[in-house]
């Protein structure tokens, strides 16, 4: 079993993650993160020398329908009813850039 993460390391990780933790959460996460690191340590002991890397272990591929234009069944008027601002077929939103 690897050494348990101390509270200072948990605080450092929280700071990097921009998280504010209570003292109880720091204790809780110290244990949880230590358990995760222990498990990763166990996985690193597995011999994968002759294992071929793969992105898809099942060999199955996704069956997709043809990409064809279809009517949505919703009118532009119905869509406009749900928008705060709708003009000439477009949603009007606040600008991001000045």
Pairwise CA distance, residues 24 & 31, whole Å: 11
Q: Which two tokens stand for residue 46?
A: 């597995």
Domains of the chain: 7-43 (1.10.20.60)
Confidence (pTM): 0.48
Give pLDDT tens digits along the chain (98 positions): 567 789 999 999 999 999 999 999 999 999 999 999 999 999 989 999 998 888 888 888 888 888 999 888 888 889 888 888 989 889 998 888 87
What confidence score (pLDDT) does residue 79 get?
Answer: 87
User: How many CB atoms sit inside 10 A of residue 98's CB?
Assistant: 3
Tell me the H-state helices in the chain. 7-16, 23-43, 76-82
């Amino acid at each position: 079993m690897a050494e348990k993460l101390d509270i200072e390391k948990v605080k450092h990780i929280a700071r990097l993650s921009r998280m504010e933790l209570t003292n109880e959460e720091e204790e809780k996460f110290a244990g949880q993160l230590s358990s995760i690191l222990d498990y990763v340590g166990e996985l690193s002991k597995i011999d994968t020398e002759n294992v071929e890397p793969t992105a898809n272990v099942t060999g199955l591929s996704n069956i997709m329908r043809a990409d064809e234009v279809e009517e949505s069944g919703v009118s532009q008027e119905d869509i406009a009813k749900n928008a705060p601002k709708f003009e000439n077929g477009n949603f009007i939103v606040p600008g991001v850039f000045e």
